[in-house]
């Protein structure tokens, strides 16, 4: 399902001006989707932002975000493959070089590549799904933690999914279950160092047509049927009976990333219209 292509051009319906003023915020997966919406909101709320993506479009996205910054704060783009620790470390180093510290990390990289029953996945496809939807979050948490621990402060917001209980995407579900486990376990380790670790679990979300394909687009009639089963199950599981919007996903992520959530850690917040996963 898709929303109007211009959704990223719209000002979020609710803003908290100055909420991220003086904060260095690193946002991954920022070229499109939830990551792009989060970056837009953080910039409008005064954050000094480093945006990361493996697509070279990230440079033009940074220019677009700089243009809407209320203080004309330059947004720092980083092109990196976060499926590797080297890429994650390069992203963290770039943020530290540009802003001197990382106050907030928001992990958005991930997403189902293929839609099919588990017995129809090849071994290579299973590994690719896990690399896409678990390792970028694992690596980025590891890359930023030393700087946060040294400062005795920081917040990590992971974007998980309610699809840990869903059809036709078992490897993705397992990856997001790993993100949930990472969130709760790391929160216990990090709390004594003044670092919070939280997550949201989005449900079905409307978004503009993807600027960069995940690579597993449904092509055959069978693949289209398997994908339709995901959509049908999502709508049936959602109490509100509809998909959410990008703004409805970005808003709780930014709340958890802010000082308004200073007494919340280790929690995974479903943002799915009543679908608990």
Nearest to 179 by CA among 24, 25, 29: 29
Quick one: which H or E segment has residue 195? strand 195-202
12 near 40, Cβ under 8 Å?
A: yes
Kindly state the helix (H) or strand (E) to which residue 76 belongs, with its residue range.
strand 76-79
CA distances from 76 to 72, 79, 116, 137, 266 (A): 12, 10, 38, 20, 29
Closest-CA residue to 46 (of 31, 14, 26, 68): 68
Residue of 118, 121, 172, 263 marked catalytic: 172
Active site residue 263: no
Distance CA 238, CA 233 (A): 9
* Residues designated catalytic: 172
């Amino acid at each position: 399902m898709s929303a109007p292509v211009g959704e990223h051009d719209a000002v979020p319906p609710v803003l908290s001006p100055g909420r991220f003023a003086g904060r260095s915020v690193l946002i991954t997966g920022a070229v499109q989707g939830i990551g792009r919406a989060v970056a837009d909101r953080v910039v409008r709320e005064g954050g000094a932002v480093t945006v990361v993506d493996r697509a070279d479009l990230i440079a033009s996205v940074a220019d677009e975000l700089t243009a809407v910054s209320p203080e004309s704060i330059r947004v720092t783009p980083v092109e990196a493959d976060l499926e590797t620790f080297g890429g994650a470390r390069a992203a963290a180093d770039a943020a530290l070089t540009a802003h001197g510290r990382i106050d907030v990390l928001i992990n958005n990289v991930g997403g189902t590549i293929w839609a099919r029953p588990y017995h129809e996945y090849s071994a290579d496809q299973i590994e690719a799904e896990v690399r896409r939807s678990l390792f970028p979050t694992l690596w980025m948490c590891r890359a930023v933690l030393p700087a946060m621990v040294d400062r005795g402060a920081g917040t990590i917001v992971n974007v998980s999914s309610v699809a840990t209980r869903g059809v036709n995407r078992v490897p993705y579900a397992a990856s997001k279950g790993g993100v949930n486990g990472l969130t709760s376990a790391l929160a216990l380790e990090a709390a004594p160092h003044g670092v919070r670790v939280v997550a949201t679990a989005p449900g079905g979300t409307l978004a503009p047509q993807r600027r960069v394909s995940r690579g597993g687009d449904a092509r055959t009639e069978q693949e289209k049927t398997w994908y339709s089963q995901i959509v049908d199950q999502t709508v049936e599981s959602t109490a509100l009976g509809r998909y959410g919007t990008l703004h409805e996903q970005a808003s709780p992520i930014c709340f958890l990333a802010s000082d308004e959530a200073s007494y919340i850690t280790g929690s995974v917040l479903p943002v799915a219209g009543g679908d608990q996963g």
